[in-house]
Amino acid sequence: MSAVAFFFYLFSAVMIASAFMVIMAKNPVHSVLFLILAFVNAAGLFILLGAEFLALILVVVYVGAVAVLFLFVVMMLDVDFAELKQGFQRNLPIGATIGGIVLVELVFCVGAWSVGGAAAQATTPAPPGLSNTAALGRVLYTQYLYLFEAAGFILLVAMIGAIVLTLRHKQGVRRQSIELQNERTVKSAVELKKQPSRAGV
């Protein structure tokens, strides 16, 4: 067995086991940690396939942002998971139906990919002399530049909208005023009082 095959089976086995533990773990914090482990092993598989850009994006975006955000939300919010699990039996038929449909679609996709010979007809991911990341950057910033900028603008609008919708001003809370702080002088900010000796404060 070659080194590539060994690492492929290693990453695949750990990723499948960790994905299974994401569903089966009773503690939601443990589920998020197993999800991070699954992402890291998926990044290893992408590196074996020569898609180092996808591996980097998977680690930086999903592990470094999304999964850690999930972990913080689960740990900071006082969520009653026992109450959430009470409706599991009621929603089990719907969930099983949707899972079966997704499984059938995946089987059809894999079958069409293997039977149709699409895997053999796949072109080289990068032109000669260019790495995968350089070729992807050239395509994004030339052919799909406007679509790439539009996607970034949509994400920016979504972020601003989420901040505006969740921002709440509480009454009676003292807030910082930059203008008043800049206008302060030594005379208005400091008050000197001479206290007699042994008189206390």
Which tens digits make up the pLDDT trace of 181-194?
Answer: 888 887 777 887 77
Q: How confident is the model at residue 27 (pLDDT cuts 50, 70, 90)?
A: confident
Q: How confident is the model at residue 96 (pLDDT cuts 50, 70, 90)?
A: confident
DSSP 104: H
Query: Which tokens sit at 178?
Result: 């930059």
**Which domain range does residue 38 map to?**
1-81
Q: Letter for the amino acid at 104?
A: V
pLDDT tens-digit series, residues 118-159: 555 555 555 677 777 788 888 888 888 899 899 989 989 988
Domain at 32, CATH number = 1.20.120.1200
Q: Is the pTM of this model over 0.85?
A: no
Query: Which tokens sit at 141?
Result: 């910033």
For residue 91, is it within any domain? no
pLDDT of residue 201: 62
For residue 12, is it within any domain? yes
Number of domains in the chain: 1
For residue 48, is it within any domain? yes
Q: Decide if 48 contacts 11 (C-beta within 8 A).
A: yes
For residue 165, is it within any domain? no
b/e burial code for range 3-39 (CB count within 10 A of at least 16 → b)? eeeeebeebeebbeebbebbeebeebeebbbbbbbbb
For residue 1, is it within any domain? yes
